[in-house]
């Protein structure tokens, strides 16, 4: 029997510490705790890792504090296009959706695609929305995903683009993602990721979050990973699978492989990178190269959350 463990992140796009009020930080911490409690309830009840990942992420998709589901970033047309994926480490089954506009909880849909384990694994755009509707998933109008905070971020990014100061924008204005990785009592791993992408992204842009091996990976032989940051770089590096490969064939530990990818391979790329992961023994890591990362862990020892470095 393994010791059930769940790790989550709400993205590296944290509000700078100097701008974060105590009340706002308390709100983020409460949101992280709610996600962990939902996922932990599954694991504590003997449920599978993939169901725990789905439950934890669905809570964050419904929470306007995070850039996934309700609260997603606006694209260049002032609309929302959502991406998500999930992977089961026991079977390597996976599900993925990209550029969806009406699915309330993309993580629910990708979990069902993974459970079916057949063709298709990945759906995009109108096709993803149609499949979700036909299969009874909750659908919403695109405006459901909007929040005043994300609208203000869109206007700020547009203003910075006109002024030529886009590079100076804080991570909180640019992007964000949510994700989770879990180990269940049976020793199986799973991971999932969901996002609205980055603010003012080109219509149709797809990042790493729905790409199995880039932003999400789970394999019972090694680890489960959910990443957050500038997806274009993660896709080029096949970041999540590379960590798995370093462990499986290179003999590195989870900590060594994760550190190498976040702090060495992506050094100088301005990727705003981070991830949460755990290995088959239940060891966990949460590296990031930004000012902070919304993150947390649940295990028999309790629940802990964090935003900035200790």
Residues annotated as catalytic are 177
pLDDT of the residue at 271:
76
Is the confidence at residue 161, as pLDDT, over 90?
no
- CATH number for the domain that contains residue 231: 3.60.20.30
Residue 49 has a pLDDT of: 98
Do residues 85 and 195 touch, judged by C-beta distance below 8 A? no
Helices (H), the chain: 22-44, 49-61, 106-116, 125-134, 148-163, 171-174, 231-237, 239-248, 254-259
Task: Report the distance separating Cα 239 and Cα 261, nearest Å.
Answer: 7
Verdict on whether the full-model pTM lies above 0.75 = yes
- Structural domains counted in the chain: 1
pLDDT tens string 269-295: 887 899 999 999 999 999 999 999 999
Confidence of residue 300 (pLDDT cuts 50, 70, 90): very high
Structural domain for 96, as ranges: 5-308
């Amino acid at each position: 029997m393994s010791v059930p463990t769940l790790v989550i992140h709400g993205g590296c796009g944290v509000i700078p510490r100097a701008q974060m009020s105590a009340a706002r930080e308390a709100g983020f911490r409460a949101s992280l705790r709610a996600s962990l409690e939902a996922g932990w309830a599954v694991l504590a009840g003997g449920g599978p890792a993939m169901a725990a990942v789905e439950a934890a992420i669905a809570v964050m998709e419904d929470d306007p504090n995070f850039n996934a589901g309700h609260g997603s970033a606006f694209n260049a047309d002032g609309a929302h296009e959502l991406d998500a994926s999930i992977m089961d480490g026991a079977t390597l089954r996976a599900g993925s959706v990209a550029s969806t506009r009406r699915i309330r909880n993309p993580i629910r849909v990708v979990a069902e695609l993974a459970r079916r384990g057949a063709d298709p694994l990945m759906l995009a755009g109108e096709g993803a929305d149609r499949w979700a509707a036909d299969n009874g998933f909750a659908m919403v109008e695109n405006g459901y995903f909007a929040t005043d905070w994300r609208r203000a971020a869109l206007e700020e990014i547009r203003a910075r683009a006109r002024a030529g100061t886009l590079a100076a924008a804080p991570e909180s204005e640019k992007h964000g993602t949510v994700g989770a990785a879990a180990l269940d009592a049976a020793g199986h791993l799973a991971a999932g990721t969901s996002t609205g992408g980055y603010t003012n992204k080109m219509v149709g842009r797809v990042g790493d979050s729905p790409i199995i091996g880039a932003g999400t990976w789970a394999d019972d032989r090694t680890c489960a990973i959910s990443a957050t940051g500038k997806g274009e770089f993660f896709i080029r590096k096949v970041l999540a699978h590379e960590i798995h490969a370093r462990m499986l064939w290179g003999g590195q530990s989870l900590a060594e492989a994760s550190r190498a990818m976040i702090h060495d391979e992506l050094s100088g790329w301005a990727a705003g990178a981070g991830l949460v992961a755990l290995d088959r023994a239940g060891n966990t890591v949460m590296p990031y190269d930004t000012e902070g990362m919304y993150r947390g862990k649940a295990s028999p020892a309790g629940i802990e959350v964090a935003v900035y470095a200790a």
